[in-house]
Amino acid sequence: MSTTTKQKRIKAITNFRRMGPEIVVSTSEAIQAHFDKNPNASAPLPVDMATVKSSTDLLLAKIAAAKDGGKTAIAAKNHQKEVVAGLLEQLAHYAEANCNGEMPTFLSFGFSPKSSSKKKTAPVSGSIRKIEPGEKSGEFKMTLMPVPDAGSYEVQWAPLGAGGVPGSWTNKAFTTVKAPVVITGLNPGTSYVFQARAVTKTGHSDWSESVTRIAV
């Protein structure tokens, strides 16, 4: 009697409506780049990519128009942000449905996966409690897990290449975990893998389990 192993469904992070308008624009542009000529996007798309581009361009124009602080312009900007966020949500669900449970395929669509943990407060790895986009494009804010007797902490990250193989690692040391550490200088639209470890008087801990995110 044969048995079939059920694949675990990969879910995308779809917090686009909580992002600032400028971050929604950069996120949309990154996702568009991932869908362009993507061999994994062979199934019919739920939205036309030309519509995604034109809607994103319109949002960019409305952001510029709202800089004078006019209420009407700000309302138009916020409305257009919701339009683009809705389009990105549809593409995220497409990625979930068409990746066949394969993480490299899912990442090829330009989305970040949700943690598989059912507990929202659970850390994403043994040393990383939380990682989320920063205030500016190309940034991540990372909250580390405190370790007793740790004098400092190290974070390393690398872009993911073909087949999910990390490229060259970049390291940075931090002396405290009371506030989120900020990683800067990342390329929007690129998938990165992050690890962290604690440094004590007797040495250092092992690098944590890898956490993958796409820079926006």
User: pLDDT tens digits, residue range 93-150?
Assistant: 999 999 999 988 998 998 888 866 544 445 556 678 888 888 888 899 988 888 877 8
- For residue 90, what pLDDT is reported? 96
- For residue 125, what pLDDT is reported? 60
Task: State pLDDT tens for residues 31-90.
Answer: 999 999 999 999 999 999 999 999 999 999 999 999 888 889 999 999 999 999 999 999
- For residue 121, what pLDDT is reported? 44
Q: Is the pLDDT of residue 172 over 70?
A: yes
CATH class of 128-214: mainly beta
Q: Is the pLDDT of residue 19 over 90?
A: no
Q: Is the pLDDT of residue 2 over 80?
A: no
Provide DSSP, 6-34.
PPPPP-B---GGGS-HHHHHHHHHHHHHH
CA distances from 184 to 48, 108, 135, 187 (A): 32, 22, 10, 9
- For residue 4, what pLDDT is reported? 47
Q: Is the pLDDT of residue 181 over 60?
A: yes
- For residue 51, what pLDDT is reported? 96
Per the document, the length of the chain is 216
- Report, as an integer, the average pLDDT of 148-167: 84
Which residue ranges make up each domain of the chain? Answer: 16-107, 128-214
Q: Is the pLDDT of residue 1 over 50?
A: no
Give the contacts of 11 (CB within 8 A, at least 6 positions apart): 96, 113, 114
Spatial separation of the C-alpha atoms in residues 39 and 29, rounded to whole Å: 18
